Amino acid sequence: MASIRVKASVKDGVAEVKCLMQHEMETGTRKDSKTGELVPAHYITEVVAKHNGKVVMQANWGPAVSKNPYFAFAFKDAKAGDTLEISWVDNKGETASTETSLG
Amino acid sequence: MQATRRLILKAAVAGAALLSLPRTLLAWPKAAFESDSTDGAMKALFGATDATASDAVTLTAPDIAENGAVVPITVSTTLEGAESIGLIVSENPSPLVASFDLTSESVPEVSTRIKMGKTSDVVAVVKANGKLYSATKNVKVTIGGCGG
């Protein structure tokens, strides 16, 4: 199942965020080793990070982001206890999101 | 009977999916991701292909990637007013790997892991104040990461 693991720490007002998302990130060009048929593309297209409800980072991805994507970024004006919501949408319309409070 | 039901179901699901799409999904730059050339991707994403090589853009990538399926990349910039970052692998079938839209709160630094089919130039493009700046690094790939 879809899941997102987030580690976020605040230092001097800057939140450093590291996320690991569980996703196949199929390119659509790989063949199934048993059937020889192409495995349909299935990959995350968008990742959005919201800090206290406000978008602070948005990523658009193609299938060339590695399987089980890692994404690290940072944003300013953060303090401990603030909420951080990370969500993604993939090319099939599936979504996942998680909310944490900054440590 | 069953075919009809399936059709109706499909239409309903499609309709629901459309309605529930977050506004942002519509902004996904499809043409840029589907382009098979670096210039095509640049044009679709940034509307221009002429990025100026700049020391203000830092691209951190390994010299040699033993496994092309997982190549760690970090892009950062010291440019004021950076709006977005594009990440391109010239030799990949679709060169555009990712783009990042920054906000005024963003620290202009992102890290991720990407797939590389073979040895290629990796290009980080930063858009700041309407202009494009870039940093390029050649990464040697021992085992390609596009499967098949």
By three-state DSSP, how is residue A96 classified?
strand
- How many structural domains does chain A have? 1
CA distance B48 to B39: 8
Closest by CA to B40, choosing from B28, B30, B52, B32, is B32
Whether the Cβ atoms of residue B115 and residue B71 lie closer than 8 Å to each other: yes
Contact at CB, A66 and B97, closer than 8 angstroms = no
CA distance B62 to B73: 8
Architecture (CATH level 2) of domain B28-143? Sandwich (2.60)
Contacts with A64 from chain B: Cβ below 8 Å? 89, 92, 94, 96-98, 114-116, 146
pLDDT digits (tens, 9 = 90+) for B99-148: 999 999 999 999 999 999 999 999 999 999 999 999 999 999 987 766 54
Contacts with B115 from chain A: Cβ below 8 Å? 27, 63-66
Conformation bin of residue A56: beta by default, left when phi > 0, alpha when psi is -120 to 50: alpha
pLDDT digits (tens, 9 = 90+) for A35-94: 999 999 999 999 999 999 999 999 999 999 999 999 999 999 999 999 999 999 999 999
Token pair of B123 as six digits = 């290009």
In chain B, where the domains are located = 28-143
CATH code of the domain containing A96:
2.60.40.10
Contact at CB, A46 and B71, closer than 8 angstroms = no
Closest by CA to B74, choosing from B88, B97, B58, is B58
Taking the Cβ of residue A88 and every Cβ of chain B, the question of whether any pair is shorter than 8 Å is answered with: no
The ipTM (two decimal places) reads 0.94
User: Domain limits at A23?
Assistant: 4-101
- Based on its alpha-carbon atoms, the radius of gyration of chain B, rounded to whole angstroms, reads 19
DSSP-derived secondary structure letter, B26: G
